[in-house]
């Protein structure tokens, strides 16, 4: 019996990638044949790392995960997913606030592009983290070493020390 191959896109800014993101990637690749971690290029957001740096960090973290690839993209996620012939958009949920926002986004994506969204609840220990919060805490000198992978922590420290 041959099954349908399912390619998913996990989009985000990943500035920086957190242990919560990594948790969703590790659990997502168990659900899909292929998982593209798609680093969005946003001209609006004030980024700490360039899209290329973010792709590089994520590629280091996922190098031993068969079926996972990392790319950056511009524009609408649904257009990128269509270009990649992805069947699904993967999203992580942390809180009820995420559910409300992601529900509207998923409904819109399905109505506009006919693509399904699959949600994975993040593990409890990462339910409160976000890249924005981690950037803020790190910028103010807080210890975020348990919230991001080691390669990301080291780069974050280096980047913040450069800015001082």
Question: Structure tokens of 58?
Answer: 């994520």
pLDDT of residue 1: 43
Strands 88-93 and 7-12, sheet pairing: parallel
Residue 48 lies inside a defined structural domain of this protein: yes
Report pLDDT digits (tens) over 71-126: 999 999 999 999 999 999 999 998 777 888 899 999 999 998 999 999 998 888 88
Q: Is residue 39 part of a domain?
A: yes
- 70 inside domain: yes
Read off the pLDDT of residues 123-143 as tens digits, 9 standing for 90 and up: 888 888 888 889 899 989 899
Q: What is the span of the domain harbouring residue 112?
A: 7-163
Q: Is residue 2 part of a domain?
A: no
Asked whether 18 and 25 are in contact (CB, 8 A), the reply is no
CA 102, 107, 108, 112 torsion: positive or negative?
positive
Active site residues: 21, 45, 94, 131
Q: Is 88 in contact with 115 (CB distance < 8 Å)? A: yes
Q: Is residue 122, in this structure, part of any structural domain at all? A: yes
Please check the confidence at residue 45 and state whether its pLDDT lies above 80.
no
Share of the chain above pLDDT 70, in %: 95
The answer as to whether 1 is a domain residue is no
What's the domain count of the chain? 1
Which are the contacts of 14, defined by CB distance < 8 A and separation ≥ 6?
A: 21, 37, 39, 54, 57, 58, 131
CATH for 85: 3.40.50.620
Mean confidence (pLDDT) of the chain: 91
């Amino acid at each position: 019996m041959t099954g349908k191959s399912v390619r998913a896109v996990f989009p985000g800014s990943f500035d920086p990638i957190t242990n919560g993101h990594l948790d969703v990637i590790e659990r997502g690749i168990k659900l899909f044949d292929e998982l593209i971690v798609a680093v969005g290029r946003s001209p609006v957001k004030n980024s700490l790392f360039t899209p290329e740096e973010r792709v590089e960090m994520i590629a280091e973290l996922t190098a031993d995960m068969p079926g996972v690839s990392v790319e950056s993209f511009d524009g609408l996620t649904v257009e990128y997913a269509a270009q990649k012939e992805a069947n699904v958009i993967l999203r992580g949920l942390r809180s009820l606030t995420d559910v409300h926002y992601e529900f509207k986004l998923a409904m819109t994506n399905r109505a506009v592009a006919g693509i399904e969204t699959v949600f994975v609840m993040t593990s409890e220990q990462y339910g409160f983290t976000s890249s924005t919060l981690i950037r803020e805490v790190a910028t103010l000198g807080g210890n975020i070493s348990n919230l991001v992978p080691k390669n990301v922590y080291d780069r974050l420290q280096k980047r913040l020390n450069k800015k001082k």
